[in-house]
Amino acid sequence: MNKSIMKYIGKRLLMSVITLFVIVLILFILMKLMPGTPFNDEKLTEAQRVLLYKKYGLDKSVFEQFFLYVKNLLKGDFGVSYSILKNAPISMLLGSRIGITIRIGLQSVVFGSIVGVLLGIVAAMKHNTIWDNISTFISVLGVSIPSFVFALILLIAFGREIPIFPITYDSSQPILSSILPTIALSTLTIAQVARFTRSEMIEVLDSDYMLLAEAKGLNKRTLIFKHALRNTLISIITILAPLIVGLMTGSAVIEKICGIPGIGSLLVEAITANDYNVVITLAFIYSAMYIGIMLVVDVLYSIIDPRIRLSKEDGNE
Amino acid sequence: MSKERVFQEKDFELIGIQEDANKAEKDITPSFWKDAYIRFKSNKVAMIGLIMVIIIILFAIFAPMLSSRAYDSVQTAHQNLPPRVPILENIGILNGHINGVDVYASKGLGDISYLFGTDTLGRDLWVRVWEGTRISLFVACAAVIIDILFGMTYGLISGYFGGKVDNIMQRIQEIVNSIPSLVVLTLLLLVMEPSLNTIIIALMITGWVGMSRVTRAEVLKLKEQEFILASKTLGASHFFILMKEIIPNIFGQIIIMSMFSIPNAIFYEAFLAFVGLGIPAPAASLGALINDGFESFAIYPHMVVIPVVVLAILMLSFNMLADGLRDAFDPKQKKM
Amino acid sequence: MKERVLSIRDLSISFKTNHGVVNAIRGIRFDLFKGETVAIVGESGSGKSVTVKAIMGILSSNGFINSGKIDFTYHRDDEVVKKDLVQLSKKEMRQHICGKRIAMVFQDPMTSLNPTMTIGEQVMEGMIHHYGTSRKEAFKKAVELLELVGITDAQKRMKSYPHQLSGGMRQRIVIAIALSCDPEILICDEPTTALDVTIQAKILQLIKDIQKKKNISVIYITHDLGVVAKVADYVAVMYAGKIIEKGSVDEIFYDPRHPYTWGLLSSMPDVNTVDEELYTIPGTPPNLLRQVPGDAFAPRNHYAMKIDYIEEPPMFNVGGKHRVSTWLAHEKAPKVSMPASLKQRIEKMKKEAE
């Protein structure tokens, strides 16, 4: 059994590396295609240009350049920013920003999942009652109203009208000023988790094994928490991928609105300033994070859910 | 037991199976489509969604047409006017006041009213919002149609032919799926100028995977069923089987999927516009309007509130409609 | 005097559905005696499963009992307790009856075990819950149970997950779970339909052996008369929510009176009679959404009489334990006897039995 899990993890790891490699290749090609690099600046003399080309290895063959690029990426050297902070190394620009984005992202996932699961359970348990309808309505609302709209509403309400929280991010109050963005960012998570939990739970409650558990004479609490909830929660792992994609997209706007110095707002800034070296770096970081998270999730899932273990086992026999 | 009854000989006459008695039993089970229709019709939430979608579409088509003002006509004298609605203003709401001051009167525009107010350049927001809705809807529909065509074809081929083809296509799909859509969108916008086409292409690239997945899963389910096998043994061509046997059977799923893609596409378009990558001015989608209004939301909240409300209602209606359709077609399906 | 464990009187159950109220059970009555087996036979939708779910108190939430009694007599220490299960609350049912006194084996072993819990956990759960058995003791007893139901390597299997076992093995586990609290009554809802033919026989034998060993009463639900012949003492034939014929196995098999029972017996595949066409009962079971006057079986009955379309037949006593609900049993009815081919069949069966 362990052997098959190891094999699965190995396969999954290989696939992740290939995917990341393909992404790096695409990024590299994009960078080559990009018009209007600082090196095309017309004010540069021929000598200056040669110097710059040499410095960044642009005089070598494309293959060598790619090799150099990958090597630099692995070392954490992403090149320099062209316009946001002229000629500053991007790694410096990223510095603390990644931490803030990840922290707010994690806060939203945790908060959103807890609220979502609770809503979903209430809806499933009180299936076809007013509670179900309220919970469903909240989740439809959460899917329907973009998170940046929520952020705006929250800022107007609790930043301006009732000033409890700072309107823009205040780095001296990192927790307090991350509350509104966290809530705004978690709306989509709440909605998706609540919907999924509800339907999954209804299906589980309707299953034969729940009937058997009921026929054992177990009390309601044991039925829900020991039998139904566990199976429901395991399947929630399967929707983590769309959740994280949504969070990434959401964080870019939320960070812009709330003035959070994370990589999301940096991305928006870089796009507007046409600082594509930064954009490409961020694209790489986002992809790497996503692929990494998906890898961890899949591996965890394969360990947690015995059903998945089986299908792998069967595949080997 | 009826003791009162006096049994007569003729009661016990053998008459066997009565044809009409059996016939009467058959009328109860409705067909799949009819059943779905009945379920959909009885779903109040879905019906409200449908009606709201229709109303919004009608507004998006006719409001700009019927208005005397153009979405891009700049009138410096009419800048930053709050909404003023002829009948409602008499009861004290939407009466063109900001902080108790009648902005229309102070600008000497007593006889003019802008239903949604104007923006910082004095453009009529009523026309701009509906024009923006039109663009958002257009983007969404175009993206979803291309999505269906590409994603469905991909899923059909991958699922139907299986084996090596499927294996390779699935690996490619996995890689595409591993790139967050945010990254795809931003990279694409680096290479191409922001325009309606760019946005549609960006949405297409990120959207087809979901559609292809659903299609493939459905095809895999159908492929092993008797009627497909029967067709195959009768010598039907692949094309015929795909067109006549498979597509009609997965159509319900495709409709549900595309109904969910529409609000998704509207959201991404709004997102792109909001980060400043939408279609170029003076044209504006809902997202672009929200972005413009955001700059001055502290002073003129109407500029951001109105497009936000319209966007939210639009998304909400589509989601309600999609939910209802899913429940109608496939009451047991998972909600993702 | 045989001890009556369960006696059901005039039970009727309805379900609220989107299309209206379905009268799934329309006044049934039968008894179950200590150590004996009652088989309930009928087509799908005839109300067999609903009946036993009502006994267990696990009707789905849209179902409700209109009237009737389910009297259950059991021994608590040395005291004899008699309870009407219809009157018990869901909570009381769970605490005192379900799993503890009455246990159930479900139709599909592939789906009736929790996929994310180990076998051991699922077998032990009931004892720990009802009797507060310590985990160590529960483990020991669970291993014994697994051995009793014929699972090899029981120690090791305790840690397995359901998907690691075959269908037959899983059904043995489900039986072990049912037996874990030493119930008075075991309800088997088509326990072998989802299994291979070869395994079917083994599972049937297993249930029979355990029944003898533990002297428990069994309610057997099936649509397969072959199974009935092997396991049952009494048979109740259900159609459209009513018991239309009941009696001892011999009475039902050798002297069936209801045309529906004739149909069921005739449609039983038989290896010995090759030359005849397999009989099928024409038409489909009635839709219980509608109340049709007269006998619900009349539209499918070759021997229907005028009265069948007017009034529902009562239960006629035709001697012994044999009861039948058809107007053909009325004194004024024409003397109709079973089809000749069936008669031959029964003669053959009788001979084989001797």
Tell me: do A127 and A31 sit in the same domain. no
Q: Is residue C15 within 8 Å of C21, Cβ to Cβ?
A: yes
- Which of the 8 DSSP states describes residue C43? -
Tell me: do A185 and A240 sit in the same domain. yes
Tell me: do C132 and C187 sit in the same domain. yes
CA distance A314 to A24: 35
- Residue B102 phi/psi, 5-degree rounding, is -75, 100
The answer on pLDDT for A283 being more than 50 is yes
SS (H, E, C) B267-325: HHHHHHHHCCCCCCCCCCCHHHHHHHHHHCCCCCCHHHHHHHHHHHHHHHHHHHHHHHH
B332 CB-near residues (< 8 Å, 6+ apart): A203
Question: Considering only CA atoms, which of A225, C282, C312 is closest in space to residue B5?
Answer: C312
Tell me: do A222 and A246 sit in the same domain. yes
Tell me: do A301 and A212 sit in the same domain. no
- Per CB-CB distance under 8 Å, the chain B contacts of A196 are 334-336
Confidence band for A316, pLDDT divided at 50, 70 and 90:
very low
Kindly report, residue by residue over C65-119, the tens digit of the pLDDT. 989 999 999 888 788 888 898 898 888 888 888 888 999 998 888 888 988 888 9
Q: Which domain holds residue B274?
A: 34-67+127-333
Tell me: do A209 and A288 sit in the same domain. no
How confident is the model at residue A311, as a pLDDT?
43
The answer to whether position B17 is within a domain reads no
Q: Beta strands C217-222 and C185-189: pairing type?
A: parallel
Tell me: do C176 and C47 sit in the same domain. yes
**CATH code, domain with B59:** 1.10.3720.10
Kindly report, residue by residue over B20-44, the tens digit of the pLDDT. 544 544 445 556 677 777 777 777 8
How confident is the model at residue A52, as a pLDDT?
67
Q: What total of structural domains would you count in chain C?
A: 2
Question: Considering only CA atoms, which of B76, B3, B49, B122 is closest in space to residue B319?
Answer: B49
Structure tokens at A103: 């922290």
CA distance C334 to C338: 13
The answer to whether position B26 is within a domain reads no
The answer to whether position B1 is within a domain reads no
Q: Which of B6, B14, B29 to mutate to test the interface with C (most CBs of C within 10 A)?
A: B14
Tell me: do C200 and C303 sit in the same domain. no
Q: Is residue A261 within 8 Å of A103, Cβ to Cβ?
A: no
The answer to whether position B25 is within a domain reads no
Q: Which domain holds residue A173?
A: 98-261
Structure tokens at A76: 């954490």
Confidence band for B335, pLDDT divided at 50, 70 and 90:
very low
Angle at B129 between CA B126 and CA B133, to 5 degrees: 140
Residues with pLDDT less than 70, chain C: 1, 270-279, 292, 354
**CATH code, domain with A179:** 1.10.3720.10
Tell me: do A182 and A44 sit in the same domain. no
Q: Is the dihedral of CA C304, C308, C312, C313 positive or negative?
A: negative
Q: Do B190 and A34 touch (CB under 8 A)?
A: yes
Tell me: do A18 and A162 sit in the same domain. no
Q: Which of A132, A208, A225 to mutate to test the interface with C (most CBs of C within 10 A)?
A: A208
Tell me: do C218 and C289 sit in the same domain. no
Q: Is residue B45 within 8 Å of B323, Cβ to Cβ?
A: yes
Amino acid at C282: P
Q: What total of structural domains would you count in chain A?
A: 2
Domain C-terminal end among C197, C232, C267? C232
Q: Do C334 and B5 touch (CB under 8 A)?
A: no
Tell me: do A19 and A63 sit in the same domain. yes
Q: Which domain holds residue C268?
A: 238-353
CA closest to B44 among chain A residues: A133
Amino acid at A171: S
Q: Which of C288, C307, C315, C326 to mutate to test the interface with B (most CBs of B within 10 A)?
A: C307
Tell me: do A288 and A305 sit in the same domain. yes
Contacts within 8 Å (CB) and 24+ apart, B53-56: B53/B314, B53/B317, B53/B318, B53/B321, B56/B133, B56/B137, B56/B310, B56/B313, B56/B314, B56/B317
Tell me: do C274 and C323 sit in the same domain. yes
Helix (H) or strand (E) holding A131: helix A130-144
Kindly report, residue by residue over A89-148, the tens digit of the pLDDT. 788 888 778 888 989 999 999 999 999 999 998 888 887 788 888 888 888 888 878 887
Amino acid at A222: T
Q: Do B16 and C303 touch (CB under 8 A)?
A: yes
The answer to whether position B319 is within a domain reads yes
Tell me: do A161 and A278 sit in the same domain. no
> What is the distance between the terminal CA atoms of chain A, rounded to a whole angstrom?
11
Distance of CA C209 to the CA centre of its chain: 18
Q: Confirm or reject contact between B319 and chain A (CB < 8 A).
A: yes
Amino acid at C349: M
Across chain C, which distance is largest between two alpha carbons, in Å?
A: 68
CA distance B113 to A152: 27
Mean pLDDT (chain A, rounded): 80
> pTM score, two decimals?
0.78
Q: Do B179 and A23 touch (CB under 8 A)?
A: yes
The answer to whether position A268 is within a domain reads no
Tell me: do C75 and C22 sit in the same domain. yes
The answer on pLDDT for B261 being more than 70 is yes
Structure tokens at A5: 């899990």
Confidence band for A312, pLDDT divided at 50, 70 and 90:
very low
How confident is the model at residue B90, as a pLDDT?
65
The answer to whether position A245 is within a domain reads yes
- Which of the 8 DSSP states describes residue C68? E
Q: Is residue C118 within 8 Å of C160, Cβ to Cβ?
A: yes
The answer to whether position A269 is within a domain reads no
Amino acid at C98: C
The answer to whether position B6 is within a domain reads no
Q: Do A212 and C104 touch (CB under 8 A)?
A: yes
Q: Which of A127, A138, A139, A149 to mutate to test the interface with B (most CBs of B within 10 A)?
A: A149
Tell me: do C72 and C170 sit in the same domain. yes
- Residue B49 phi/psi, 5-degree rounding, is -55, -50
Q: Is residue B201 within 8 Å of B192, Cβ to Cβ?
A: yes
Helix (H) or strand (E) holding A98: helix A90-125
Kindly report, residue by residue over A40-89, the tens digit of the pLDDT. 555 566 777 677 667 666 667 778 888 888 888 888 777 777 777 777 77
Distance of CA C126 to the CA centre of its chain: 23
Tell me: do A303 and A248 sit in the same domain. no
Q: Do A146 and B267 touch (CB under 8 A)?
A: yes
Q: Confirm or reject contact between B311 and chain A (CB < 8 A).
A: yes
For tokens 């899990």, what's the residue? A5
Q: Do B332 and A30 touch (CB under 8 A)?
A: no
Domain C-terminal end among C232, C264, C284? C232
Helix (H) or strand (E) holding C72: strand C63-76
Tell me: do C133 and C21 sit in the same domain. yes
**CATH code, domain with C42:** 3.40.50.300
Residues of B with CB under 8 A from a CB of C: 1-2, 5, 7, 9-18, 21-22, 25, 28, 42
Q: Extract the runs of DSSP E, i.e. beta strands, from B64-147.
A: 97-98, 101-102
Domain C-terminal end among C232, C257, C272? C232
Tell me: do C266 and C213 sit in the same domain. no
Tell me: do C227 and C318 sit in the same domain. no
CA closest to B172 among chain A residues: A19
Q: What total of structural domains would you count in chain B?
A: 1
CA distance A243 to B51: 30
The answer to whether position A266 is within a domain reads no
Q: Do B316 and A18 touch (CB under 8 A)?
A: no
CA closest to C327 among chain B residues: B12
Tell me: do A217 and A242 sit in the same domain. yes
Structure tokens at A27: 């990024």
Chain B, window 80-109: residues with a beta carbon less than 8 angstroms from a chain A beta carbon: none
Range name among B110-119, B229-238, C170-179 with the lowest pLDDT average: B110-119
Question: Considering only CA atoms, which of C281, C296, C167 is closest in space to residue C225?
Answer: C281
Confidence band for B336, pLDDT divided at 50, 70 and 90:
very low
Bond prior to B194 in cis (omega within 30° of 0) = no
Q: Confirm or reject contact between A305 and chain C (CB < 8 A).
A: yes
Number of inter-chain CB pairs under 8 A, A vs C: 79
The answer to whether position A250 is within a domain reads yes
CA distance B255 to A304: 34
- Per CB-CB distance under 8 Å, the chain A contacts of C58 are 211, 214-215
C353 CB-near residues (< 8 Å, 6+ apart): none
Prediction ipTM score: 0.81
